[in-house]
Amino acid sequence: MNRYFIYLGYNGKNFSGWQVQPNGITVQQCIEEALATLLRQPVPIVGAGRTDAGVHARTMIAHFDWEEPIADLPFLAEKLNRLLPKDIVIYRIVPVRPEAHARFDATSRTYKYYVTTRKDPFNYELVYRMTGKLDFDAMNEACKVLFDFVDFTSFSKLHTDVKTNNCRIYQAGWEQEGDVWVFTVQADRFLRNMVRAIVGTLLEVGRGKLTIEGFRKVIEAKDRCKAGTSVPGHALFLVDVTYPEELFNS
């Protein structure tokens, strides 16, 4: 059996998330249907993660298996792009070792969240607009607190089926890009709704409603009810997933 990684991106506005759902169109469903059309049999794929409804991905990776080696992978990617809707793109398809796993072998994932305080009629669908002033210096100080913890129960969606709420955060901070402020966070794994809950709580710091010490106490409480409200998904992007080099065929 031959295994392949698909590098892809999508605008999540019109999808009920990544994972196949019984009552909504998803990104995984669209790609599996396109592969089945081209390869003439069902081809299940496994994604690096499960983005929620409305969340975007500039870079998502998924893997699939095929019995025979596929000779022309660029041509397969091109044919997939012709079949897929305009809000999904296949960047490339690459061979990997048979044991490589798009989800379990990922060493880090990086998300970005976009916030602005300025009204913009051309970018509102991809940025979360806040009213009033935000103290981004205080928000960046609060970000440093994240590195002191591994248990992020306070930022996890309740009643999930994960065995642990431990994550290792490698990077977290806000940077300004024109009129938009971008929160970038990288970790070895993320919990359901984690990034949106972190951003919502950091915005409480930015508005002066929560101190940096209060932000620390939110994490220490290990209680989702202590954290801020989750921000909307339309301004959240998965932007990178990394893997060990030895997974790729030379």
d(CA 188, CA 166): 10
Of 242, 229, 220, the closest CA to residue 7 belongs to 242
Taking each helix axis from N to C end, the angle separating 136-145 and 194-206, rounded to the nearest 10 degrees, works out to 130
226: exposed, middle or buried (Cβ count in 10 Å: 0-12, 13-18, 19+): middle
Tell me if 4 is assigned to a ligand binding site: no
d(CA 62, CA 104): 11
CB 190, CB 111: distance < 8 Å: yes
Dihedral over Cα of 93, 95, 97, 98: its sign: positive
Catalytic residue IDs? 52
Amino acid identity at 66? W
Residue 54 CB-half CA count within 13 A: 13
Amino acid identity at 130? M
Dihedral over Cα of 201, 167, 237, 114: its sign: positive
Annotated binding-site positions for substrate = 111
Annotated binding-site positions = 111
